[in-house]
Amino acid sequence: MSRGPIPGALVIGSDYKSLGVVRSLGRHGIPVWVLRDDHVLASLSRYCARSLPWPATTEEEQVAHLLELAHRHGLDGWALFPGGDETAALLARNRDALGERYRLTILEPWETLRWAYDKRLTYRLAGELDVDHPLTRYPRSREDVLAFDGEYPAILKPAIRHELNRFTVAKAWPAPDGSTLVARYDEARTLVDPDLIMIQSLVPGDGASQLSYAALCRNGRALASLVARRTRQWPMDFGRASTYVETIDAPDVERLALRIIEWLRFDGIVEIEFKRDARDGRLKLLDINPRPWGWHTLGRRAGVDFPYLLWQMMGGIPIAPLRGRPGVRWVRALTDVPTAMSEIRAGRLSVRAYLASLTAPIEYAVLAADDPVPALLELPATAYLAWTRRETSAGQRPARVAT
């Protein structure tokens, strides 16, 4: 697909990350359609011109579905945005076929994207670039788990999250000792291919130790960027998701992330996540997310609206260097309120400090004055999603990860 004006955008997935993409583009008058999965928030936005179902089928069928949509609805030249790891991988692996109809916002070929998608490759890359990362082992058997030589607590995590089950939904399972680690491994191998199971020593610290560099890149050079701290997460001691994030100044985070971006010669938007080890102060690489991440809408409030900037770059509009300003906050109230209440009860957070953390400048993940419906329906929609996933975890056939 040639460069030039882009008529509209098709967003795969409908969670709060996708909602952020829809709002980013829709506020600039860009037509946006949503392919909704088991989430619904993005499809409820006033900036969503139309929503259609996204089939939880095979990759081949999903590619055929996207091509058929372009043909049936005249979507040639529309930008195609992924909502998560699996749909980003789908676009990268099928860039030739999909690129005949769409403008792909995953600008990297699969040969590059796989270094971020597969955590086994991510940590191999870290080793090649002399970037610290948590001690990681790749057990081939139960005996390998029994021989784990790292510190405890440890975690089990999947290298990829291709299917939805209680292991992949949790993202990682903690194990305080060897016997628990073996028991959890035995359980995990019933849910995923054993070759995908990794063991890591847990880097100590809560969300405030987790730091991210986010950027829009061209040829391995950052055009727009910010650094953020994951101050609160859910759950607080072992977070699956950010609930409260702040932009900060952290030159060492930026330097380390740029080493990775330059090696990959990365194009597009990316978040690179580290954790600062309290034992030695060193940054340990955790993840590379080459697609919209949970708190990407923080960028808009900080002066770096990542989806719209990506849209402009793809349309051939020059991007002046941008850096997000520090001291800007992002909160997902649905999960941050119970997290903060738990911290207050434990004496680790005062009511005054919590209320002060919610002062301007702040961006809410779902709540928006110009687009109120998603926030009004977020709680019942989340409750329904939790119920359906509990049914899946109880033993129904695993489904693909919702994006």
Residue 120 is assigned to a structural domain of this protein: no
DSSP sequence for 260-274: HHHHHT--EEEEEEE
Within 13 Å of residue 93, how many CA atoms lie on the same side as its CB? 12
**Domain shared by 317 and 232, yes or no:** yes
Q: Considering the entire predicted model, what is its pTM?
A: 0.94
The reported pLDDT for the residue numbered 3 is: 61
**Domain shared by 364 and 230, yes or no:** yes
Rounded distance between C-alpha atoms, residue 213 and residue 200, angstroms: 22
Query: What are the tokens at 13?
Result: 């997935």
The reported pLDDT for the residue numbered 148 is: 97
CATH number at residue 144: 3.30.1490
Judge contact between 44 and 22, C-beta under 8 A: no
Rounded distance between C-alpha atoms, residue 393 and residue 199, angstroms: 22
**Domain shared by 90 and 164, yes or no:** no
The reported pLDDT for the residue numbered 402 is: 39
The reported pLDDT for the residue numbered 212 is: 98
In terms of residues, how long is the chain? 403
Residue 92 is assigned to a structural domain of this protein: yes
**Domain shared by 402 and 302, yes or no:** no
In sequence order, the β-bridge partners of residue 210 are 275
With a cut of 70, which residues of the chain have pLDDT below it? 1-3, 389, 391-403
The reported pLDDT for the residue numbered 403 is: 34
**Domain shared by 383 and 361, yes or no:** no
Residue 111 is assigned to a structural domain of this protein: no
**Domain shared by 298 and 332, yes or no:** yes
How big is the chain by its Cα radius of gyration, in Å?
20
The reported pLDDT for the residue numbered 149 is: 96
Select from 182, 201, 220 the last residue of a domain.
201
Residue 130 is assigned to a structural domain of this protein: no
Query: What are the tokens at 48?
Result: 């969503």
Please give the torsion angle defined by the CA atoms of residues 306, 310, 313 and 315, in that order, rounded to the nearest 10 degrees.
-130
Residues in contact with 358: Cβ distance below 8 Å, sequence separation at least 6, in sequence order: 329, 331
**Domain shared by 391 and 343, yes or no:** no
Residue 386 is assigned to a structural domain of this protein: yes
Judge contact between 29 and 98, C-beta under 8 A: no
**Domain shared by 221 and 350, yes or no:** yes
Q: Of 163, 1, 162, 4, which is closest to residue 80 (Cα–Cα)?
A: 1
**Domain shared by 367 and 389, yes or no:** no
Within 13 Å of residue 145, how many CA atoms lie on the same side as its CB? 24
DSSP state of 294: T
User: Please, what is the end-to-end C-alpha distance for the chain in angstroms?
Assistant: 25
**Domain shared by 43 and 192, yes or no:** no
Q: 167: domain range?
A: 135-201
Tell me if residue 115 falls in helix, strand or coil. helix
CATH number at residue 238: 3.30.470.20
**Domain shared by 80 and 146, yes or no:** no
The reported pLDDT for the residue numbered 1 is: 46
Number of domains forming the structure of the chain: 3
The reported pLDDT for the residue numbered 164 is: 82
Rounded distance between C-alpha atoms, residue 373 and residue 215, angstroms: 30
CATH number at residue 31: 3.40.50.20
Query: What are the tokens at 8?
Result: 């509209």
Select from 173, 201, 229 the last residue of a domain.
201
Q: At 377, phi and psi to the nearest 5?
A: -105, 5
The reported pLDDT for the residue numbered 394 is: 57
In sequence order, the β-bridge partners of residue 80 are 10, 104
The reported pLDDT for the residue numbered 80 is: 98
Q: Of 192, 249, 245, 221, which is closest to residue 361 (Cα–Cα)?
A: 245
